[in-house]
Structures are given as structure tokens and as C-alpha cells.
């Protein structure tokens, strides 16, 4: 009797998975659009099992050329787990998205994203800062529930960082953590022309606070030392202390909970 029940369960599982191979991806995309606020999908092709998107737009930010494949094993645990690859106007990325079928929790894991900051400054809400360089973001995990980012951990590296065309600081690393509505970043340099140690905190309201110590690595670079002195208070001969706070207009899709 037990063996018959076991065989029946296996058969049902195989049957359910086989349905995904024929269910149109458009059927799933309509469900996602209803579930995720501000999400619109264009040019959906393939099946729920694997397919591609011509474009994804969420609250005005558009990404193109997205492919996905679904993990059958995660479905047995009540999760829709998709591996994705995207290549969109200078932005490249890949990772895993896991959507709880029995709840509202969405998790991103092992996500790698690369893009030029100038091209996406408007979407990130930093267009007023005149930043240059390339961003590489590795998200260990990001949880999204009830249209809020409820947890985040990862590392961001800003390669060939520049500000207002006047200050080139080399490569900067930020170790990211988010919880209880507060995103924090521990900042350090990667051996560029500017020594950097600092921290940044950002609230869901857009209020931020930035504290750091900057120092020219080459003591003979008088131009760089002068530029750094304009940014904050000189401490000793070469070090500059920067303490600033303010508010930025966060994109509507960044909501910290």
C-alpha cells in the first residue's frame, strides 16, 4: 500500500513538472505583472520552463534581452527558482530569482551585475553627482516582500571611480548590508591614488550620512592633495575628514523595509 502511494506521488510530481514544459510563458508573465507592483514584461517567448523576454520594465527602468530557466527541484519545495541572464544597453548580469509560491517572499541570490555608472545614474537617483566609472555588484542575497526590500547582503566595487571630472580615486569597494529599513556600506579603497576608509548609511526616506577619511597615497601629488582638502576638514598633514549628510531622491523601485 505504501509503495503504491509513493509511486502515485512520484507520478503526480512528474506530471506537474511536465505541464511546465507546455505552459506558455505568457501565462506566467501575466501572473507576475499582477503580483509585482510596477512590473511590465514585453516580448515574452517560450514556456514557463525556459524562455526569454524582449524587455522588462519596472517603474520606468527598462532591461532588455533576458533569458531564464526554471529549476524543477525547487518546485517540489514550493518555490519557483529561475536562473537568468541579461544583456541590456551596457548592463550585464546573471543570477537566481526564487519566488515563494505559498507566500509573498522573493529572493535574489548569487547575482552579478556590471554596468557603467554614467549610463544608469538617472535610474539610481545619483545623476546630480556627476559620477564616472564602472560598477560591479555581487549580491549574495536580496529579499523582497510586500514591495519592500527586507534584507540585503553583498559587495559593490566602483572601478575607475570619478566625481565631477575633477577627482579620480581609483577602485573603491563597499560591503553592503541592509535590515530594518537601513542600508549600510563599509567603504575602502583597492590601492588607487586615494586612501579611503569610511561608511555610508541610507534610510528608506532617502536620507543619507557619509563619513570618511581620505588621503593621497602619493604625498608628492600636490594637485590631488589640494582637491581632497576642498572636500572636507584637514586632519594632520595629508588626511582629510569628510562628514556629510543630506537626501537623495531614491528610485521608486528602491523601497527599504
| DSSP-derived 3-state class of residue 8 | helix
Predicted confidence (pLDDT) per residue in 111-137, tens digit: 999 999 988 887 777 777 788 999 999
pTM of the predicted structure, to 2 decimals: 0.76
Task: Tell me how far CA of residue 99 lies from CA of 20, 82, 105, 143, in angstroms.
Answer: 16, 8, 6, 10
Torsion of CA 138, 250, 246, 200, to 10 degrees: -10
Quick check: helix, strand or coil at residue 126?
Answer: coil
Q: Count H helices, E strands: the chain?
A: 5, 15
Q: What is the pLDDT along the chain (257 residues), one digit of tens a residue?
A: 434 443 343 434 443 444 444 455 665 666 666 766 777 878 777 766 677 777 777 766 777 777 767 666 655 555 667 788 888 888 899 998 887 766 667 888 999 999 999 888 877 777 777 889 999 999 999 988 877 888 999 999 999 998 877 788 899 999 999 988 899 999 999 999 999 999 999 998 889 999 999 999 998 998 888 889 988 999 977 899 999 999 877 766 677 76
- Quote the radius of gyration of the chain (alpha carbons, Å): 23
Query: Closest by alpha carbon to 156, among 141, 173, 132?
Result: 173
Amino acid at each position: 500500500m505504501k509503495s503504491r502511494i509513493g509511486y502515485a506521488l512520484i507520478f503526480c510530481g512528474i506530471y506537474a513538472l511536465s505541464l511546465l514544459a507546455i505552459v506558455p510563458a505568457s501565462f506566467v508573465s501575466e501572473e507576475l505583472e499582477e503580483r509585482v507592483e510596477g512590473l511590465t514584461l514585453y516580448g515574452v517567448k517560450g514556456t514557463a520552463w525556459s524562455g526569454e523576454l524582449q524587455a522588462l520594465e519596472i517603474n520606468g527602468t527598462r532591461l532588455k534581452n533576458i533569458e531564464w530557466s526554471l529549476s524543477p527541484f525547487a518546485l517540489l519545495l514550493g518555490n519557483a527558482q529561475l536562473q537568468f541572464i541579461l544583456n541590456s544597453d551596457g548592463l550585464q548580469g546573471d543570477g537566481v530569482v526564487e519566488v515563494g509560491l505559498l507566500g509573498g517572499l522573493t529572493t535574489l541570490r548569487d547575482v552579478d551585475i556590471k554596468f557603467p555608472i554614467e549610463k544608469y545614474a538617472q535610474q539610481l537617483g545619483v545623476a546630480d553627482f556627476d559620477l564616472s566609472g564602472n560598477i560591479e555588484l555581487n549580491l549574495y542575497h536580496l529579499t523582497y516582500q510586500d514591495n519592500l526590500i527586507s534584507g540585503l547582503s553583498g559587495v559593490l566595487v566602483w572601478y575607475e571611480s570619478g566625481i565631477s571630472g575633477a577627482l579620480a580615486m581609483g577602485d573603491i569597494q563597499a560591503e553592503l548590508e541592509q535590515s530594518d529599513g537601513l542600508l549600510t556600506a563599509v567603504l575602502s579603497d583597492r590601492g588607487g591614488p586615494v586612501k579611503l576608509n569610511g561608511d555610508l548609511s541610507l534610510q528608506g526616506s532617502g536620507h543619507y550620512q557619509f563619513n570618511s577619511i581620505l588621503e593621497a597615497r602619493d604625498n608628492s601629488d600636490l594637485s590631488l592633495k589640494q582637491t581632497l582638502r576642498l572636500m572636507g576638514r584637514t586632519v594632520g598633514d595629508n588626511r582629510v575628514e569628510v562628514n556629510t549628510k543630506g537626501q537623495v531622491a531614491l528610485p521608486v523601485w528602491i523601497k527599504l523595509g
